[in-house]
Structure 1
């Protein structure tokens, strides 16, 4: 079983990245879905990271891909998918990159969806939550091809 900690949209609160790593010190992977706006890239060490729409000074990729157990994950910030029917647009990239799960941020709202064989998770925001959600992040557990998750508050 693998444990994946996913965060997004801390918007300059560099210590949120360290705090989450301390809270979830037993994770196998740490993922940041963009808009870290960090002033010191060292805070991103140990994270699988992508560039968000506010990460102007960071040279990070638009997509990152990794495998955990029997699932392949695609990470992106999410600003190019709009707000309506996002999963339909995301599925195009999941198929293109041959992945099972999309991890993304941007909306600042925790969300999980499954459509057919594809899964989508947004951890929300550690700093600027929206939609009545709390500041938080997500933890994913992967056992073979089985995925379970929980949203955690900070």
Structure 2
């Protein structure tokens, strides 16, 4: 299974359209919030299924704060990250992932691409599609799940 990961898109549809070309042949896209309505845009315009969570810039009724999604028997915890203080530490989000039996934790909020494996849990932030921070560039990520998990960032 091939999963596209993006977030912090902030209604920048030109960047979304450009990134979809880089996420070719994905089965599904995960959106980490901050403008979750962009997920609807992707589904309508590009006919790709999207699951996503609301971020701190989304209205309260925009969607779920957190989703546990299973792909090929691997649990993926999806959240924006603001409720776990990801700008200062990943301890809380890692603890939440362990409690959820997650193999992968996907989050956003920092606008900085990040990947690390900690205690057999993959922590992934795709970065921001619209407004990157910390010397990073606009980016997305791809997770490939077969017999093992493979993750890579892609500059858009």
The CA deviation at 1:100 is 1.2
Residue 2 of structure 2 aligns to a residue whose secondary structure is strand
Q: Match of 2:28?
A: 29
Taking structure 1 as the reference length, what is the TM-score of the superposition? 0.87
User: Structure 2: any 5+ residue segments left out of the alignment?
Assistant: 44-48
The CA deviation at 1:41 is 6.5
The CA deviation at 1:12 is 1.5
From 74, 97, 112, the equivalent of 1:94 is: 97
Structure 1 vs Structure 2 CA RMSD: 1.9
Alignment coverage as a number of residue pairs:
150
Compare 105-114 and 52-61 and name the one that shifted more: 52-61
Q: Match of 2:152?
A: 150
Compare 91-100 and 4-13 and name the one that shifted more: 91-100
The CA deviation at 1:13 is 1.1
Tell whether 2:68 aligns with 1:65. Answer: yes
Q: Which has the higher helix share?
A: 2
Tell whether 2:83 aligns with 1:85. Answer: no
Tell whether 2:138 aligns with 1:135. Answer: yes
User: Structure 1: any 5+ residue segments left out of the alignment?
Assistant: none
Taking structure 2 as the reference length, what is the TM-score of the superposition? 0.86
